């Protein structure tokens, strides 16, 4: 298939699979309640601690913060505003001390052997934040992990 046709396909498909939500009509100000500024530095600290000591209590702190950042609140990036629409996104999407860090955060969840981390990775709440390439790579893995955990509990 022509590489230009593939590019056009993805350009038209990506907006339809986006997980950003249209902001409520009465929401005119953004990032007032978004916990990203406060929690993203804490997430980064706990990410490093969990990555360096994967079986420690640090991983529990990491997922505790991660869970708080899954919700959308009133979080909005510059790209989530158009002339006629505003969108809100999960607070975790605001946590990018460098461009690939969200990827790193999710990889740590996907590879962890800590039961509570596995449960978060296998949850519908986690899958709700997946978008674009994140969804392509991790959505099915999350569903598989969910099935594994359910089978173990039986």
Residue 10 in this model has a pLDDT that exceeds 90? no
- pLDDT score for 73: 92
Summarize pLDDT for 59-82 with one digit per residue, the tens: 999 999 999 999 879 999 999 999
Which residues lie closer than 8 Å to 42 by C-beta, 6 or more apart?
Answer: 65
Q: Does residue 8 lie in a domain region?
A: no
Summarize pLDDT for 93-145 with one digit per residue, the tens: 999 888 899 999 999 999 999 999 999 999 999 999 999 999 999 999 999 99
Q: Does residue 108 lie in a domain region?
A: yes
Q: Does residue 6 lie in a domain region?
A: no
Residue 30 in this model has a pLDDT that exceeds 70? yes
Q: Does residue 46 lie in a domain region?
A: yes
Q: Does residue 102 lie in a domain region?
A: yes
- pLDDT score for 4: 39
Q: Does residue 96 lie in a domain region?
A: yes
Structure tokens at 66: 């991660």
What is the residue range of 42's domain?
A: 20-153
Which residues lie closer than 8 Å to 81 by C-beta, 6 or more apart?
Answer: 30, 87
Structure tokens at 8: 């056009």
Mean pLDDT of 18-46: 90
The total domain count for the chain is 1
């Amino acid at each position: 298939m022509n590489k230009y046709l593939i590019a056009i396909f993805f350009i038209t498909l990506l907006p339809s699979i986006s997980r950003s939500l249209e902001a409520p009509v009465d929401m005119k100000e953004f990032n007032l309640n978004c916990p990203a500024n406060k929690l993203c530095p804490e997430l980064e600290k706990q990410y490093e601690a969990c990555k360096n000591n994967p079986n420690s209590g640090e991983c529990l702190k990491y997922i505790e913060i991660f869970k708080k950042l899954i919700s959308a609140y009133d979080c909005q990036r510059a790209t989530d505003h158009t002339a006629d629409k505003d969108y809100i996104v999960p607070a975790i999407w605001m946590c990018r001390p460098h461009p690939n860090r969200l990827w790193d955060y999710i990889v740590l969840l996907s590879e962890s052997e800590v039961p509570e981390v596995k449960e978060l990775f296998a949850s519908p709440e986690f899958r709700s934040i997946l978008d674009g390439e994140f969804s392509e790579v991790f959505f099915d893995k999350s569903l598989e992990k969910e099935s594994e955990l359910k089978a173990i509990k039986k």
